[in-house]
Amino acid sequence: MRRDRVAEALLSLVAPADHAASTVGDLMEEADARGRLWFWQSVVRVALSLLARDLLAAPLAMVAASAFTWFLYMGLCLVLGLGGYVVVTLIWGGAYILAHHTGLELLVDLLRLRFDWPPIPAWMTYAIQAVVLFAIAPLQIGRSSAPHFRGHELSLVLVMLLIWSAMAVFAPIVGIGIAATPRTMPVIATFVLLGILMERHRAASTS
């Protein structure tokens, strides 16, 4: 991948796409004389400068959006968690029927095997909740937030990381043996950012 495209993708997280492209174009013109290291140092400096400006431009709007999306995240975790548990229960029950009420049962009786079917193991319940809390729900929040914060995505994720860490203390999401805590927020925020990038890629490929 060309370095100008990588640099544009980075800067477009903290600035409009046309601004990012023009900035990278200016830096590329000087990079031939100053070198690759200077180019990337300049890209990082510009990104940090734009990020700081972005955070100071409309902090209240991003704080309000982050607090609102926390409750969307809670509801999404509940719906997806219940849905995942229902699906696993149906699969588990289907396997039970297959093993006990079909020709397999005759084979088990013929071999005189004792086959006790256990309930759904606790680790599977934890796994469903973990995947929903830490991956699927944050991805969906990122994808739904992307169209509303184009050019401000990185600022939104940083504010969301702070606000969601506080919300996890005062309005926690607690499952069966698992919870979203401030310690797990970097993982959750990473998947939010990944969801944003996925939505941006989808929008760019369809435009």
Element holding 51 (H helix, E strand) = helix 36-57
**Coil, strand, or helix at residue 99?**
helix
Tell me the pTM: 0.78
Which residue in 189, 92, 202 sits closest to 141, CA to CA? Answer: 189
- Report CA 28 to chain centroid distance, whole Å: 32
142 vs 147: CA distance, rounded Å: 9
Question: From first to last of its 207 residues, what are the pLDDT tens digits of the chain?
Answer: 466 788 888 888 888 878 888 888 888 888 778 888 888 888 889 888 888 888 887 788 889 989 999 999 999 998 998 888 888 888 877 666 665 555 555 555 555 555 555 677 778 888 888 899 999 999 999 999 888 888 888 888 999 999 999 998 888 876 667 788 889 999 999 999 999 988 888 877 776
The radius of gyration of the chain from alpha carbons, rounded to an integer in Å, stands at 24
Sign of CA dihedral 149, 154, 160, 162: negative
What span, in angstroms and rounded, lies between the C-alpha atoms of 145 and 68?
11
